[in-house]
Amino acid sequence: MNILILGANGFIGSHLSEAILEQTDWSIYAIDLAQDKIENCLSNDRFHFFSGDMIKQKEWVTEHIKKCDVVLPLVAIATPAAYVQNPLSVFELDFEANLAVIRQCVEFKKRIIFPSTSEVYGMCTDEEFDEETSNLVTGPIHKERWIYSTSKQLLDRVIYAYGKHNALAYTLFRPFNWYGPKLDNIFNPKPGGSRVLTQFIGNILRGEDIMLVGGGAQQRCFTYIDDGIGALIKIIENKNNVAYQQIFNIGNPLENISIRVLAESLVTLIKRYPKYAEFANKTKLVDVDAAQYYGSGYQDVQLRVPAIHRAEQFLDWKPVVDMATGLDKTLDFYLA
């Protein structure tokens, strides 16, 4: 099987590439702007990498959609600060660029595995978010945070419609706060420039206080990257066609913790690393207003818990890495 990964140097793309090369005999054709996270893959004969921008390299993308069996368009802007500060960039990349890829998959009758997001559920009031029954609830237009969620949601709907009316072979997967090694650059000093876990690690290492938006009361279900990639491998494999035209939440409902607890845990864990213990000892947790931190276009979600019975039933998958183990592995990658 030939796999096309657009955005192979990203967090998910890099881990997926390594897993495919280690666990299967599939070949990968990949594109991204950088290659620092996939250095272990570059020497493999089954990994064919092109350094470039998928938006500018349209001919390359078209050629490889034709060549490959499965397409994974993983390119996206996925940090909340960007949703508020650069909403049009989010729309242009996350929606417009991916829509072109989806249409080519329809034209050339290729299977697409598309990264939806847990954000599509928005402020849904269900205790658990179900792929088939939960309402997708977002805020008013002036809350620009939702441009990411609605861009992804509309693509979900477009893909579903192409599946129903054009027999597009697709699978949608919705990651719930995947984390692990290679998540983000922990030395990016820009507030909100990284996802929450790497943002907090960076705060500690730079000797900064940790800013807890809204006091850090929001709860998230954190999912270790190895668990997420395990689900993706099963989706790509598609044994007995179980993932055909399906939507899967991929998350860990057992690891539902508040952002404040995450911050406190990281401070405690980093004290175990002698080189960084002094920084952790000085770190303070500071409550900050959401509008002050992100801007007036931000709106938050208090609870985000996935129902995963569909992944358990169809993929024979469930998460196995607990938060303590996952954080240890992540911190060892960045700090050991």
pLDDT recorded at residue 292: 86
Q: What pLDDT band is residue 293 in, cutting at 50, 70 and 90? A: confident
pLDDT over 80 at 191, yes or no: no
- SS3 per residue for the chain: CEEEEECCCCHHHHHHHHHHHHHCCCEEEEEECCCHHHCCCCCCCCEEEEECCCCCCHHHHHHHHHHCCEEEECCCCCCHHHHHHCHHHHHHHHHHHHHHHHHHHHHCCCEEEEECCHHHHECCCCCCECCCCCCCECCCCCCCCHHHHHHHHHHHHHHHHHHHHHCCCEEEEEECCEECCCCCCCCCCCCCCCCHHHHHHHHHHCCCCEEEEHHHCCEEECEEHHHHHHHHHHHHHCHHHCCCCEEEEECCCCCEEEHHHHHHHHHHHHCCCCCCHHHHHHCCEEEECHHHHHCCCCCCCCCCCECCHHHHHHHCCCCCCCHHHHHHHHHHHHHC
Contact 221, 101 (CB under 8 A): no
Percentage of the chain lying above the pLDDT 90 cut: 92
Q: Please compute the mean of the pLDDT values over residues 5-17 and round it to a whole number.
A: 98
∠ CA 104-109-111 to the nearest 5 degrees?
Answer: 90
Average pLDDT over the chain reads 96
Percentage of the chain lying above the pLDDT 70 cut: 99
Q: What pLDDT band is residue 114 in, cutting at 50, 70 and 90? A: very high
Q: What pLDDT band is residue 291 in, cutting at 50, 70 and 90? A: confident
pLDDT recorded at residue 121: 98
pLDDT over 70 at 192, yes or no: no
pLDDT over 80 at 188, yes or no: no
pLDDT over 80 at 139, yes or no: yes
pLDDT in tens, 33-45: 999 999 999 999 9
pLDDT in tens, 218-247: 999 999 999 999 999 999 999 999 999 999
Q: Please compute the mean of the pLDDT values over residues 87-93 and round it to a whole number.
A: 96
pLDDT over 80 at 183, yes or no: yes
Distances (CA, A) of 236 to 18, 216, 294, 307: 14, 36, 37, 21
pLDDT recorded at residue 159: 98
- Kindly list the structural domains of the chain, giving each domain's residue range(s) and its CATH number in brackets, ordered by start: 76-335 (3.40.50.720)
CA neighbor of 122 nearest in space, from 107, 137, 111:
137
Q: Please compute the mean of the pLDDT values over residues 305-333 and round it to a whole number.
A: 98
pLDDT recorded at residue 193: 66
